Amino acid sequence: MNNLAAVSANGSASGPDEDDALAHEQAINGFEYAIWHLSSAFARWRRDCLACLPGEPLSGAEASILHIVHLNNTPKGVAEISRLLHRDDIANLQYGIKRLLAQGFIEKADPKAPKKSVTYLTSDKGRKLVEAYLQLRRETLLRLTDRVPGMTKAIGEATTMLHVMIGMYDQASNIAAGHGGPIGRLQP
């Protein structure tokens, strides 16, 4: 019997797998709570790290866009930026891109490209900011994490699990959005 099937419609566990279903739900609850904390801690880190750097202040969203555009030193369009950031709020991404262009952190790879084909690269100013951020990260965060035995392996394993969970949350979101609720409630 599936552990999730042991949880009744009102959320209480029943049947022989009651302990397993409850333990599973508590594990998911703990995971989500930790993700909220991680998300907030990461946002504070980015904010405080960026505040230490000279120049115009960037929002966390703008910093994310800048880092993605900088990634691998290859031009990226809005669709690729959206995919790499795992975001679907295109209008907000376009706003962030416009602000980064106006501040001189990114530039169009080909200024003559049609609007739908525009790709972006980091400018010299943008590269300097990203490199300063990465250097500060090396001097602070990496020095702290490097001191924990087994951290490199643990981070790798946690990253893999996070990617698996991203897929699970995406699928659950698709089911909820497309079916109006849990699996099995699809009506013609």
pLDDT in tens, 75-91: 999 999 999 999 999 99
In this structure, what CATH number is given to the domain that contains residue 127? 1.10.10.10
Task: Establish if 131 belongs to a structural domain.
Answer: yes
Task: Establish if 14 belongs to a structural domain.
Answer: no
**Tens-place pLDDT, residues 147-164:** 999 999 999 999 999 999
Residue 92 tokens, joined:
């907000």
Contact 109, 98 (CB under 8 A): no
Task: Establish if 180 belongs to a structural domain.
Answer: no
pLDDT score at 14: 58
- Please, what is the average pLDDT of the chain? 87
Alpha-carbon gap, residue 142 to 139, rounded angstroms:
6
**Tens-place pLDDT, residues 12-67:** 545 658 889 999 999 999 999 999 999 999 989 988 888 888 877 888 889 999 99
Residue 5 tokens, joined:
């099937």
3-state secondary structure of 129: helix
pLDDT score at 181: 65
Looking at residue 76, the DSSP 8-state letter turns out to be B
Task: Establish if 100 belongs to a structural domain.
Answer: yes
What is this structure's pTM? 0.78
3-state secondary structure of 172: helix
Tally the domains of the chain: 1
Domain that includes residue 136, residue range: 52-148
First to last CA, the chain: 28
Task: Establish if 142 belongs to a structural domain.
Answer: yes
Give the count of beta carbons closer than 10 Å to the beta carbon of residue 168: 11
pLDDT score at 60: 86
Task: Establish if 58 belongs to a structural domain.
Answer: yes
Residue 82 tokens, joined:
């959206």
- Phi, psi (deg, nearest 5) at residue 120: -125, 150
